[in-house]
Amino acid sequence: DGGITQSPKYLFRKEGQNVTLSCEQNLNHDAMYWYRQDPGQGLRLIYYSQIVNDFQKGDIAEGYSVSREKKESFPLTVTSAQKNPTAFYLCASTPGTGANQPQHFGDGTRLSIL
């Protein structure tokens, strides 16, 4: 079955450390997205990519970086510059960028600070 796989499910980061969250999809979707979800807040867009080798900043990109070297993969790095990284991170994809295309989400990665 096609879908989006995020790993790991739980991740712990030490102070000053960079960590990378994996997101892989086998849906043949062009567009991929990273969201952050905090209690009491809606999903907030970190970065998105509409096509391979291209990506744009979302609303809260500071302290994060991404790459899109392959269509299937859109890893997110949480850098030491992100001072409040504890959150639930969700990766999503859509076939293209049409407004009527629902986003397919992965199961998320919960990141905590040690």
Partner 1 sequence: GQNIDQPTEMTATEGAIVQINCTYQTSGFNGLFWYQQHAGEAPTFLSYNVLDGLEEKGRFSSFLSRSKGYSYLLLKELQMKDSASYLCAVHGGATNKLIFGTGTLLAVQP
Among 40, 54, 83, 114, binds partner 1 (CB under 8 A): 40
Give me the residue label for tokens 């979302």.
58
Q: How far apart are CA 39 and CA 48, in angstroms?
A: 22
Does 97 contact partner 1 by CB under 8 A? yes
43 in contact with partner 1 (CB under 8 A): yes
Residues 6+ apart with CB under 8 A from 96: 29, 30, 31, 50
Kindly state whether residue 67 participates in binding partner 1, applying the rule CB under 8 A: no
Q: Summarize as ranges the residues that interact with partner 1 (CB under 8 A).
A: 35, 40-45, 48, 58, 88, 90, 97, 99-100, 102-108, 110
